[in-house]
């Protein structure tokens, strides 16, 4: 999913009425948001965090210092690891690690739903379908649980793909 479409989807789920226009930069099509007052913002997670503040939903960025750092860590993970063009082995390792991490958690920070969950959810979409199929017989692994849990949150019910089309 193109970053602009992802951000538009995020705006909608955050309940922002005003829609922003995004441009893209470079080969990797990094999104750029031109704000009315002040410089433009570049980068998926940077813009996403900005939108969260715009919607007055700062709690989605974490409430304690620890939670805030963890949210940002997984946002970084999303753009550096999940978005990386990886080979099969890398993808397998990535899903295995996430699975292990989510073993004792509902969301990435534990029990609180945050922006990190939203962006990781979008980012994983391209792998998750085949993953679910493969693991169906063995009962739901934590990653699938996480995925369904996040999907079930109000506003994130539909898959991003259907919005894109």
Partner 1 sequence: MRLFVSEGAPGNLPVLAAAGRVRGRAELLISTVGPEECMVPFLTRPKVPVLQLDSGNYLFSTSSICRYFFLLSGWEQDDLTNQWLEWEATELQPALSAALYCLVVQGKKGEDVLGPVRRALTHIDHSLSRQNCPFLAGETESLADIVLWGALYPLLQDPAYLPEELGALHSWFQTLSTQEPCQRAAETVLKQQGVLALRPYLQKQPQPSPPDESAVTNEPEEEELATLSEEEIAMAVTAWEKGLESLPPLRPRQNPVLPVAGERNVLITSALPYVNNVPHLGNIIGCVLSADVFARYSRLRQWNTLYLCGTDEYGTATETKAMEEGLTPQEICDKYHVIHADIYRWFNISFDIFGRTTTPQQTKITQDIFQRLLTRGFVLRDTVEQLRCEHCARFLADRFVEGVCPFCGYEEARGDQCDKCGKLINAIELKKPQCKVCRSCPVVKSSQHLFLDLPKLEKRLEEWLGKTLPGSDWTPNARFIIRSWLRDGLKPRCITRDLKWGTPVPLEGFEDKVFYVWFDATIGYLSITANYTDQWERWWKNPEQVDLYQFMAKDNVPFHGLVFPCSALGTEDNYTLVSHLIATEYLNYEDGKFSKSRGVGVFGDMAQDTGIPADIWRFYLLYIRPEGQDSAFSWADMLLKNNSELLNNLGNFINRAGMFVSKFFGGYVPEMVLTPDDQRLLAHVTLELRHYHQLLEKVRIRDALRSILTISRHGNQYIQVNEPWKRIKGNEADRQRAGTVTGLAVNIAALLSVMLQPYMPTVSTTIQDQLQLPRPACSILLTNFLCTLPAGHQIGTVSPLFQKLENDQIESLKQRFGGGQLEESLELKAKVSPKPEVVETVTTAGPQQIQVLMDEVTKQGNTVRELKAQKADKNQIAAEVAKLLELKKQLALAEGKPLETSKGKKKK
Is 34 or 164 the residue whose CB approaches partner 1 more closely? 34
Q: In angstroms, what CA-CA distances link 136 with 62, 143, 147? A: 32, 12, 14
Place of tokens 């369904």: 148
Least separation in angstroms between residue 53's CB and partner 1 is 8
CB 13 within 8 A of CB 156: yes
Cβ distance to partner 1 smaller for residue 76 or 136: 76
Instruction: Find the shortest distance in angstroms from Cβ 30 to partner 1.
Output: 8
Residues near partner 1 (CB under 8 A) are 25-27, 30, 32, 38-46, 49-50, 61, 65-66, 68-70, 72-73, 75-77, 79-80, 93, 96-97, 100-101, 103
- The most distant pair of C-alpha atoms in the chain lies apart, rounded to whole Å, by 53
């Amino acid at each position: 999913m193109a970053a602009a479409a992802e951000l538009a989807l995020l705006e909608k789920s955050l309940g922002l009425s005003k829609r922003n226009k995004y441009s893209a930069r470079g080969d990797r099509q990094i999104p750029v948001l031109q704000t009315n007052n002040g410089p433009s913002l570049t980068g998926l997670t940077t813009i996403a965090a900005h939108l969260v503040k715009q919607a007055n939903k700062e709690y989605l960025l974490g409430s304690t210092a620890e939670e805030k750092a963890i949210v940002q860590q997984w946002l970084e993970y999303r753009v550096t690891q999940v978005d990386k063009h990886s080979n099969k082995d890398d993808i397998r390792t990535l899903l295995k690690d996430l699975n292990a991490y989510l073993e004792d958690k509902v969301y990435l920070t534990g029990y609180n739903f945050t922006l990190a969950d939203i962006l990781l959810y979008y980012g994983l979409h391209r792998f998750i379908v085949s993953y679910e199929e493969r693991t169906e017989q063995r009962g739901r692994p934590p990653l699938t649980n996480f995925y369904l849990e996040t999907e079930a949150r109000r506003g994130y019910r539909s898959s991003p793909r259907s919005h894109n089309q």
